[in-house]
Chains A and B, each alone.
Chain A
Amino acid sequence: MKKTLMKGNHAAGEAAVRAGCMLFAGYPITPSTEIMEHLSARMPEEGRTFIQAENEIASIHMVGGAYCTGKRAMTATSAGGFSLMQEFTAYASDAELPFVIINVVRSGRGIGSLDPGQDGYRQSVYGGGNGDYRQIVYTPNTIQEMVDDIYESFETAEKYRMGVIILTESSMGQMMEPVVMPDYKFLETTPDWAVTGTHKWDRGAGGWPMKRKAWEEKMARVKAEMQRWDAVGLEDAEYVFVSYGLPSRSTGEAVKLLRAQGVKVGFIRPKIVSPFPVDAFKAVNRDVKGFLCIETTEFGQMVQDLALAVKGEFANNVPVHFNAYGIGVPSVKEVLAFYELIREGGSKEVF
């Protein structure tokens, strides 16, 4: 398989083409726009649909229109654009309609900044719309992993009839890495839930008690089947780092350095943050002294899921330490400095 050096956003768009995405509708927003630019050329080339919509609300509804007829469809956005789509994700979630959104997070509230960040976590995991729902959220940390995740995401969305978010960061979209593109595939058969002239949508408003039970069963299945993580050195770890996305690359380097010096630290990297990989914590040393959450948010988003996972696994209230990196990607030095602080008995914020 030939490797090519590709920009993350271009690779993301191409992965969707390879995965059999038949419609892309989007609206330009930095730093996700190159996905749309790539597809504006590639989709017509493949005889598929590309639409530059009037706004993000319309673009995600076009995706929904296509997907409810069993046609793979996707959009990509960032920041405020993702916020606008939350009206849809709530409705789609209620209707158990699959969809795929690539959320290229940039830091900050409102207009925010163009720097990478991870404060789109909560909106992606919990859904930013009304009502209580969850989405399956992939958190790749290399361009190749992102390509593979997007390639798989459509099938995941269809299997569980749920929304799937690919959560990346602005720098993931802008950077280049060698990638191997997978072969073309298609959704060969029309799913039995697809709307046709003779088949209307089978789920939706009403039937609440029955729906609740079905949702419970579905979420249990998602939790059992979709947890995914990488782990290093958990058996003997005194402290365990937990990090995803680009910060997990700094953290990975820091852990490697520390372990080379004989320091007993472990590392859990969620490759999917929703469902959160709670099973990963079963392998952690029972005498662990604490967990260190390395994420780029201001008040902590993943740390809350992490704290619940730790609470579920350890009876003795093991501390989960959080450091607000706020914006960008913490450097290896910053990760090491945080570890030193904790090891010496200090702390920033404890969950």
Chain B
Amino acid sequence: MKEAIFAGFGGQGVLTAGLVLAYTAMEQDRNTSWLPSYGASMRGGKANSTVKFGEDTEEVIGVPMMAEADVLVAMNRPSLDYMSFCKPGALVLVNQDALDEPYDFPEGLEIVLVPAAQLAYSVKNAKGASIVMIGALIKKTGFFTAEQAKQSMCNMFAEKGKSKLDALNLAAFDAGYNAV
């Protein structure tokens, strides 16, 4: 079973980014679960989603709660607190643009800084920083191929009636994929 945590401020796309991974896993016939953090207010504050999926088509998902993550995607500084839920050697993808001053990362984790906001801006998708991170995650982890992830991402947005954003989202994905 693999586990990924997506964390940031509400509105940074961390729920959507988690969904892209869960959707990709589902379309590869894996068991999967997506669990959002849940608070009383709808916008602002800390938000996160936890995605788990089976490593083969048989494996079932245990508890869907954040436990021992293989990957943490941290969109802002407070999200780095979730490193305490990471396995030894876990991958931590950090939105570099949200770190206004250097951060003293702990030993034993693979830290990768991604200028997610800048990359999103460069492909004219200012809201796409979390999609940039999904591109980077797929490249670094190899959980799924880029084609599988991109196809699932487009299928997912199509289901929400947002296919018109495909080109922008694919550009953001590629920007992240190629940056790491």
A adjacent to B, CB under 8 Å: yes
Does A170 sit at the interface, judged by CB under 8 A? yes
A246 and B64 in contact, given A175-B35, A176-B19, A177-B34 (Cβ under 8 angstroms): yes
Select one of B33, B40, B62 contacting A252, CB under 8 A: B62
Residues of B contacting A249 in the complex (Cβ-Cβ under 8 angstroms): 61-64
Name, among A3, A176, A252, A253, the residue most crowded by chain B CB atoms within 10 Å (CB to CB): A176
Q: Is the CB of B67 within 8 A of A114?
A: no
Interface size class of chain A, counting residues whose CB lies under 8 Å from the partner chain = 20 to 34
Select one of A3, A331, A332, A333 contacting B26, CB under 8 A: A3
Q: Which residue of the partner chain B has the closest CB to A256?
A: B62
Does A174 sit at the interface, judged by CB under 8 A? yes
Q: Distance (Å) between the CB of B99 and the closest chain A CB? A: 29
Interchain CA distance A4-B31 in the complex, whole Å: 12
- CB neighbors of B among A1-56 (8 A): 3-5, 31
Q: Is the CB of A114 within 8 A of B33?
A: no
Residues of A contacting B34 in the complex (Cβ-Cβ under 8 angstroms): 5, 175-177
Q: Is the CB of A332 within 8 A of B67?
A: yes
A332 and B32 in contact, given A5-B26, A174-B38 (Cβ under 8 angstroms): no
Q: Which residue of the partner chain B has the closest CB to A254?
A: B62
Does B39 sit at the interface, judged by CB under 8 A? yes
Select one of B22, B38, B39, B62 contacting A5, CB under 8 A: B22
Residues of B contacting A139 in the complex (Cβ-Cβ under 8 angstroms): none
- CB neighbors of A among B31-62 (8 A): 31-36, 38-40, 60-62
Does B6 sit at the interface, judged by CB under 8 A? no
Q: Is the CB of B36 within 8 A of A253?
A: no
Select one of B26, B31, B40, B62 contacting A253, CB under 8 A: B62
Residues of B contacting A253 in the complex (Cβ-Cβ under 8 angstroms): 62-63
Does B23 sit at the interface, judged by CB under 8 A? yes
Interchain CA distance A252-B64 in the complex, whole Å: 12
Residues of A contacting B35 in the complex (Cβ-Cβ under 8 angstroms): 171, 174-176
Interchain CA distance A177-B53 in the complex, whole Å: 10
Name, among B34, B38, B67, B159, the residue most crowded by chain A CB atoms within 10 Å (CB to CB): B38
Name, among A31, A247, A249, the residue most crowded by chain B CB atoms within 10 Å (CB to CB): A249
Q: Distance (Å) between the CB of B15 and the closest chain A CB? A: 10
Does A80 sit at the interface, judged by CB under 8 A? no
The contact string, 1 if C-beta is below 8 Å from chain B, for chain A 141-182, is 000000000000000000000000000001100111110000
Residues of A contacting B23 in the complex (Cβ-Cβ under 8 angstroms): 5
The contact string, 1 if C-beta is below 8 Å from chain A, for chain B 146-180, is 00000000001001000000000000000000000
Q: Is the CB of A177 within 8 A of B67?
A: no
A331 and B38 in contact, given A3-B26, A176-B22, A178-B32 (Cβ under 8 angstroms): no
Q: Is the CB of B33 within 8 A of A177?
A: yes
Q: Is the CB of B32 within 8 A of A171?
A: no
Q: Is the CB of A175 within 8 A of B63?
A: no
Interchain CA distance A24-B63 in the complex, whole Å: 31
Does A329 sit at the interface, judged by CB under 8 A? yes
Does B98 sit at the interface, judged by CB under 8 A? no
Interchain CA distance A249-B1 in the complex, whole Å: 13
Select one of B33, B62, B63 contacting A176, CB under 8 A: B33
Interchain CA distance A177-B31 in the complex, whole Å: 8
Interchain CA distance A187-B61 in the complex, whole Å: 35
Q: Is the CB of A171 within 8 A of B22?
A: no
- Contact sample, A vs B, 16 pairs, CB 8 Å cutoff: A5-B23, A5-B26, A114-B40, A171-B65, A174-B35, A175-B34, A175-B36, A176-B33, A178-B31, A178-B32, A247-B63, A249-B61, A250-B65, A252-B62, A331-B63, A332-B63
